[in-house]
Amino acid sequence: MYHEIHRLYREGNRPSQIAKYLVMDTRTVKKILAQEEQEYLDYQASLASRNKVLDPYETFVKCRLEACPEASAAQVHDWLKEHFTDLPDVTEKTVFNFVLMVRGKHGIPKPFCNQRDYEKVDELPYGKQAQVDFGEYNMTTEDNKRKKIYFFCMSLSRSRFKFLWLTDKPFTTLQTIIAHEKAFQHFHGIPEVMVYDQDTLMLVNENKGELILTDAFRSYVANRSFKLHFCRKSDPESKGKIENVVRYVKYNFLRGRVFVDIDTLNGQGLAWLSRTANAKEHAGIKKIPEQQWQIEREYLQAVNEIFTPQEALKSVAVMKDNVINYKSNYYRVPLGTHQGTGTRAWIEISDDNRLLIYDKDDIQIASHQISTGKGRTIGGSQYKRDRTSKINQIIDQLSNQFEDPDQAKGYLEEIRKKMPRNIRDQALHIEKQIKHFDMDIITQSLMFCIENKVFRATDFESVAKKFHAEKQETMELPLPVKIDTLNHANYKITPDKSDISDYQSLMN
C-alpha cells in the first residue's frame, strides 16, 4: 500500500485522486505520503502490538465464537453489553475490528452460508423469452426541483433488443398492460415466455408455490396467450439480463438529463434506444441487438388483433349524478363524466387499497381510498361543481355594466359576504334594474347604497325607484305661459275713428 500510494503520486496524481482510486480516506493518503518507509513500517508494527480497549473481553469473545462461529459482530456486541455492565462505550466499528482480530488470532473463520454456485446459461432460441422489470429514478426539472420517474423495461433474451416506457406516476395494472402492448408493437411480435419478479401489479399472492394473478392481468394473459415465469422472491440474479437493462437506463440514459415533461422524455427514450441501447454492440454476446432482432422478429408470435386495455378491467356504470357504485359505496367521478345512458368507466384496485377509475381512453379520472363502510359517498370537492368560479364570472360581468366597475364590484362583494347562498339571485335582480332604469339613476342609487351601507338587491331597487320618481316629478312641474299676440309690424298704426254725429243720426 505504501509503495502503491507513492508510485501513483510520482505519476502526477493528486491525493484526492489516489484516495478515490484506492478507496481510501484522503487524509490517510496524505499521512502516508508524509512518512518515510521505515516510519510507516514502525507505525504498522505499533498497531499490531498496542493494547486494545476490549482486550479484557478476549476470552469471552473467543468462547462465544467457538460455540457459535456464524455470529455477527453486532451480535457479539450485544452479548458483551448483556454480560458486562462495565463495558466501555465503544463504537460498532471497534467491536467489528476486535471480533475480526479474535477470529484471525484463534483461527475461528466465519462459515459461508449457502454459498450459491453459478454456471453460464446457454443462449435461448429466438423468440423464446423476454424479461420484464420496473425501475425508479429521481430526475432534476428545469427549475432545479426533484421529479421521481417510473419506467418499464422489456428485453428479448436472445437478441437483447430492448424497449423502454416512462411515466411520472407509479405503475398500476392497467398501465402495466398498456406498457406490454407498446413493447409488443415495438418488437413486432410476442415472445413465448415472459419472465417477471413477483410483483403485486400482476400477482395477488403466492399460495404455497401457486401464483395467483390479479383479475386484470389474468384476463390480459389469456387474451395474448403467452406463458408466465415468476422468479423466486429476492432473487434478481435469475433475470440478470433485464436487471442490467434497468441499471443501463438509470446510468446511461436518465443520469444527467433534465426533465421537461413525460411525453418529451418518452420521445428521448425511444431515440436513445435507436441510437445507443439497440445500436451498440452488446458486451455479452458481442453482437448488435438491432441486427439480431431482425432475425428474432421472424420467430415472434404475430400481433394481429388490437387489444383494448379496458378488456382486462372491470367495467362499471356511471350514474347520472356522476358517481359509480362499488361494494355498496358511491365514488365520485369528475362532473361531466356521465354522457347519457350507457356511460361506462373502468376500475382497478391499487397496491395501497385505492380505487382507480379510468375513462374510455385509459386516462385515470379519479382515485379514492376504498371505504370499509356502506352507503357512503366518497370524493372531495375537486369532483363537485366549481360554483365559486361561476359566481366570480357573474360579478365581473355585472360590474362592467356600471360606470365605475371597481366600485360596483366592491358593492357586489359586500352583498356576497352578507348573503353568500343568494348572491346569484341578488346579482340577477340588480341586473334587471340596470335594464329598467337609466344609467344616471343606477349610478346615483349605487352611491347612495354604498354611503348608507344598504347591501340588498331589493333595497337597491327601492332606492332606484325613489330617484326615478323624483326625476319624473321634476319633469312634470307647470311652466309659465307666455302669449305673444302682438303684430310688431303694425304696432304703431292708428285705427280709424267714427264721427259721433253718425251715431246720433242712427239713434234718432
From residue 229, alpha-carbon distances to 115, 232, 238, 281, 329 in Å are 24, 10, 11, 28, 37
From residue 314, alpha-carbon distances to 201, 317, 347 in Å are 15, 10, 6
Instruction: Return the higher-pLDDT residue of 226 and 503.
Output: 226
pLDDT in tens, 407-421: 999 999 899 888 887
Q: Which three cell numbers stand for residue 469?
A: 320618481
- Least trusted range by pLDDT, from 140-149, 256-265, 464-473, 499-508: 499-508
pLDDT in tens, 43-90: 777 766 667 788 889 999 999 999 888 888 888 888 898 888 888 888
Please determine, for residue 120, whether its predicted confidence score (pLDDT) is greater than 90: no
Note the pTM of the prediction, 2 decimals.
0.52
Mean pLDDT of 118-131: 81
Question: What is the enclosing helix (H) or strand (E) of 112?
Answer: none
- Least trusted range by pLDDT, from 3-17, 240-254, 276-290, 338-352: 338-352
Query: What pLDDT was estimated at residue 212?
Result: 59
* Residue 312 banded pLDDT, cuts 50, 70, 90: low
Query: What pLDDT was estimated at residue 209?
Result: 45
pLDDT in tens, 345-355: 888 777 667 88
**Average pLDDT, rounded, for the chain:** 83
Provide the angle, in degrees to the nearest 10, between the axes of the packed helices 387-399 and 405-418: 140
Please determine, for residue 305, whether its predicted confidence score (pLDDT) is greater than 80: no
| 98-107, 213-222, 474-483: which is most confident | 98-107
Query: What pLDDT was estimated at residue 290?
Result: 94
Please determine, for residue 236, whether its predicted confidence score (pLDDT) is greater than 50: yes
> What's phi and psi for 286, nearest 5 deg?
60, 35
Helix (H, G, I), strand (E, B) or coil at 317: strand
* Residue 207 banded pLDDT, cuts 50, 70, 90: very low
Query: What pLDDT was estimated at residue 346?
Result: 82
Q: 33: exposed, middle or buried (C-beta count within 10 Å: 0-12, 13-18, 19+)?
A: middle
Mean pLDDT of 104-124: 71
pLDDT in tens, 416-472: 888 887 888 888 889 889 988 989 999 999 999 999 988 999 999 999 998 888 888
How many other C-beta atoms lie within 10 A of the C-beta of residue 160?
Answer: 23
Query: What pLDDT was estimated at residue 378?
Result: 87
Mean pLDDT of 27-52: 81
Query: What pLDDT was estimated at residue 119?
Result: 56
CB 61 within 8 A of CB 98: yes
Query: What pLDDT was estimated at residue 193?
Result: 92
| Closest-CA residue to 339 (of 317, 367, 356) | 317
Query: What pLDDT was estimated at residue 147?
Result: 92
The span from the CA of 116 to the CA of 14, in Å, is 41
Please determine, for residue 361, whether its predicted confidence score (pLDDT) is greater than 90: no
* Residue 289 banded pLDDT, cuts 50, 70, 90: very high
CB 269 within 8 A of CB 253: yes
Dihedral of CA atoms 386, 391, 394, 398 in degrees, nearest 10, equals -160
CB 457 within 8 A of CB 463: no
Query: What pLDDT was estimated at residue 211?
Result: 54
Mean pLDDT of 167-181: 87
**Do the strands 193-196 and 227-230 form a parallel or antiparallel pair, or are they unpaired?**
parallel
Q: Which three cell numbers stand for residue 196?
A: 417477471
Please determine, for residue 382, whether its predicted confidence score (pLDDT) is greater than 90: no
Query: What pLDDT was estimated at residue 73?
Result: 87
Please determine, for residue 492, whether its predicted confidence score (pLDDT) is greater than 70: no
Identify the residue whose cell numbers are 394473478: 213
Query: What pLDDT was estimated at residue 474?
Result: 75
Query: What pLDDT was estimated at residue 242?
Result: 85
